Amino acid sequence: MSPGIVVLVVAAISAVGYVLGRRRAVSLSASERVRLHSLPGYYGQTVALFAAVPAVIVLAAWLVVQPLLVETRVTGMIPDSVIPEGGARSLVMADVRRIADGIDAVLARGGISEGELSEMRADATDVRGFLAEVGVALGNDVPPPVFEAAKSYRQISKTGNFVAGALALALSIGFALWAYRRIAVDLRARNISERFVRALLVSASTIAILTTVGIIASLFFETYSFFRVYPAQEFFVSTVWNPQFRGGSELGILPLLWGTFYISLVALIVAVPLGLMIAVYLAEYAGPSVRSVVKPAIEVLAGIPTIVYGLFALVTVGPFLRDWIAQPLGLGNSSSSVLTAGIVMGIMIIPFVSSLSDDIINAVPQALRDGSYALGATQSETIKQVVLPAALPGIVGAVLLAASRAIGETMIVVLGAGATARLSLNPFEAMTTVTVKIVSQLTGDTEFASPETLVAFALGLTLFVLTLGLNVLALYIVRKYREQYE
């Protein structure tokens, strides 16, 4: 029984359970002339849930556990002699699995029968050639113990699948029956199903936590090894970022943080006013037809691959700023600059501000606007003093999202602002960001265990902690200024 089929059967059982449960609830209420506690559908749902959830959990657990179990069983069958020198048991196991798959393929094609298969011996048959016919390529000829192991691998997996499938079906039917029998007019069916939904909601929101844990965990160990080979103090307070290929690098984070901050700031200075004005215009001034065209159009800006923006920065904006502003003002003659990257990035993140804010502004009740208009306020006064404050939490969320995007961007920075880490106030100079350096150090040609590569993890973790701090601050501000309408 393949898991797919079991899942389908379980789904069928729970569907039937739903119908029967519902029907039973209805008929009970009719015969006892008592109102049901919940809508009949909820009774159906409880049966369906009980039919599906335990079975699916068991099945899922089995899918995880079975390979482990089978592997341990089968690995034991492989004598050390067939394990090539320098190789590992796990690799032979890969062969075993490949052969087992191959056998399945052959069987499916009807090349041989089960009986013939059990007769078959690796030393007598050319298993490799045999499997090659069904498109399963093997790296080497098959030693007999491996072939035997493959056969029993197949056998055990089959039995395992069967047992698990049977168990799942039994659970499904058993729980379904139990849930069905339990139905009574005063069964709190809605509460049961809602508790289940709630559990789903809770587990969905814990994913954020798990992701965070995962990120921290995956960054932490390498960061730790980084700080073992590189002094933490240097990293945090040094103002020089100068990695060397052959060691002896200076890896101060400050210039990178400054670049990140500076470029993101420029991007936000471009994106927030533009985005907000677009949002305001679309939500308050534009007619529905304009809005329905412009909004999705602006959203395309967020979907254009960043390489396009990067090239735009490199080829158009950078030289323009250099030739028309920086050089005449004597502010340098670099075509890559903070301003170039910031402006272009700002354009890219406009939709983050505009679209989300537009939705939120649109959700502000009309009564508030009416209240303001009736006092003789102009539309812009109303927007600035009534609508926007009421929409503030959402707008802050949108801006944070935009800022986040700006912090995480690489391509535009690389092409627009260059790769030079520098602490400078001049926006016409090239600088770079933490994210860019994470990418470049991580994908570079230096050896992995060197501080030059490991620093990427330390950069990642530091950035993570810093943005966390910023977000706490943002939350605090939003809480303070939140205006709850009604």
**Contact positions with another protein (CB under 8 A) in 271-300:** 273-275, 277-278, 280-282, 284-286, 292, 294, 296-300
Among 98, 177, 265, 327, binds another protein (CB under 8 A): 98
Burial 426-447 (b: 16+ CB within 10 A, else e): bbbbbbbbbbbbbbebbeeebe
Compare residues 94 and 170 and give the one whose CB is closer to another protein.
94
Q: Considering the rule CB under 8 A, would residue 174 count as an interface residue with another protein?
A: no
Strand partners, 250: 242
Compare residues 177 and 277 and give the one whose CB is closer to another protein.
277
Among 31, 81, 110, 137, binds another protein (CB under 8 A): 137
Burial 12-49 (b: 16+ CB within 10 A, else e): ebbeebbebbbebbeebbeeeeeebbbebbbbbbbbbb
Residues counted in the chain: 486
Judged by CB under 8 A, the stretch of 9-17, 161-169, 230-238, 246-254 that binds another protein is 246-254
Residue whose C-alpha is closest to residue 453's, from 223, 257, 231, 232: 223
CA distance 202 to 209: 11
Q: Are 245 and 446 in contact (CB under 8 A)?
A: yes
How far CA 346 is from CA of 261, 377, 419, in Å, comes to 13, 32, 19
Query: Per-residue contact track with another protein, 331 to 350, x per CB under 8 A?
Result: -xxxxx----------x--x
Compare residues 11 and 302 and give the one whose CB is closer to another protein.
302
CA distance 416 to 114: 65
Judged by CB under 8 A, the stretch of 47-55, 73-81, 108-116, 439-447 that binds another protein is 439-447
Among 52, 58, 187, 360, binds another protein (CB under 8 A): 360
Strand partners, 242: 250
Query: Per-residue contact track with another protein, 58 to 87, x per CB under 8 A?
Result: ---------x----------------xxxx
Among 390, 412, 431, 458, binds another protein (CB under 8 A): 390
Compare residues 169 and 361 and give the one whose CB is closer to another protein.
361
CB of 384: closest distance to another protein in angstroms?
Answer: 8
Q: Considering the rule CB under 8 A, would residue 204 count as an interface residue with another protein?
A: yes
Q: What are phi and psi of 250, to 5 degrees?
A: -110, 120
Among 59, 136, 176, 263, binds another protein (CB under 8 A): 136
Q: Are 474 and 396 in contact (CB under 8 A)?
A: yes
Compare residues 119 and 370 and give the one whose CB is closer to another protein.
370
Q: Considering the rule CB under 8 A, would residue 369 count as an interface residue with another protein?
A: yes
Q: Considering the rule CB under 8 A, would residue 47 count as an interface residue with another protein?
A: no
Judged by CB under 8 A, the stretch of 8-16, 52-60, 135-143, 170-178 that binds another protein is 135-143
| Sign of the four-CA dihedral 264, 267, 271, 273 | positive
Interface with another protein: number of residues (CB under 8 A): 186
| Helix 434-442 / helix 392-408 crossing angle, nearest 10 deg | 40
Of residues 455 through 484, those in contact with another protein by CB under 8 A are 457, 460, 463-464, 467-468, 470-472, 474-475, 483-484
Q: Considering the rule CB under 8 A, would residue 19 count as an interface residue with another protein?
A: no
Give the SS3 label for residue 260: helix
Give the SS3 label for residue 170: helix
Among 44, 418, 427, 451, binds another protein (CB under 8 A): 418
CA distance 332 to 423: 15
Residue whose C-alpha is closest to residue 350's, from 265, 271, 264: 271
Of residues 212 through 231, those in contact with another protein by CB under 8 A are 212, 214-215, 217-219
Judged by CB under 8 A, the stretch of 45-53, 164-172, 231-239, 407-415 that binds another protein is 407-415
Q: Considering the rule CB under 8 A, would residue 198 count as an interface residue with another protein?
A: yes
Among 303, 329, 425, 480, binds another protein (CB under 8 A): 303
Among 162, 178, 224, 245, binds another protein (CB under 8 A): 245
Q: Are 290 and 312 in contact (CB under 8 A)?
A: no
How far CA 242 is from CA of 228, 253, 334, in Å, comes to 19, 10, 20
Q: Considering the rule CB under 8 A, would residue 485 count as an interface residue with another protein?
A: yes
